[in-house]
Amino acid sequence: MSERSFPGRLLGIDHGLKTLGLAVCDPTGLIARPLRILRRTSRQADFAQIAALIAEHGAVGVIVGLPVPPPPFADSPQTERVRRWAARLAAAIDVPVYLWNERYSTDEAIELLTEAGRPVPRREDAVAAAVILQSFLDALRDEGIPWPEPVAPAAEDER
């Protein structure tokens, strides 16, 4: 994928029960950077804040990290929780939502911070979100992986 054909900024999310790590990439899809940590309050308030960040940064899509267990293990309750949350998010915002394997993203975030000689924050979620988003960008650009199918928005009775 060339820089010219990249659709624009993406917002990356590291989903947690208490916080959401947020990251954003540049408009060409080359570099992801940590944005902030969102302390979760309610689904409606969380989705409103995400929608505001999408508008503020002109994001054209959202990449949500999916905790996929290694083979041969079955999906965990957290995997299913993130799938449901992503479907609800897709129903609440006006840009597509994509799931991306986030396995080991927090470990990689801590390793990157340590190698850079930077202190590891108490909450490394925003750095983990940048790792997830950068992994997605690299796969598209360097590995030629096609864009995944967007998450189907949750039905109204599942929101």
Task: Provide the residue range defining the domain that includes 70.
Answer: 3-158
Query: What is the CA angle 20-64-106, rounded to 5?
Result: 60
Phi, then psi, of 113 in degrees rounded to 5: -65, -40
Query: What amino acid is encoded at 18 in this protein?
Result: K
Sort strands 61-66 and 97-101 into parallel, antiparallel or unpaired: parallel
Number of domains in the chain: 1
The token pair that represents 40 in the structure block: 């979760």
Structure confidence at residue 23 (pLDDT)? 97
Residue with tokens 């979100």: 129
CATH code for the domain in which residue 47 is found:
3.30.420.140
pLDDT tens, the chain, 159 aa long: 344 478 999 999 999 999 999 999 999 999 999 999 999 999 999 999 999 999 999 999 999 999 987 777 767 888 999 999 999 999 999 999 999 998 665 666 566 556 766 665 555 788 889 999 999 999 998 888 899 999 999 998 887
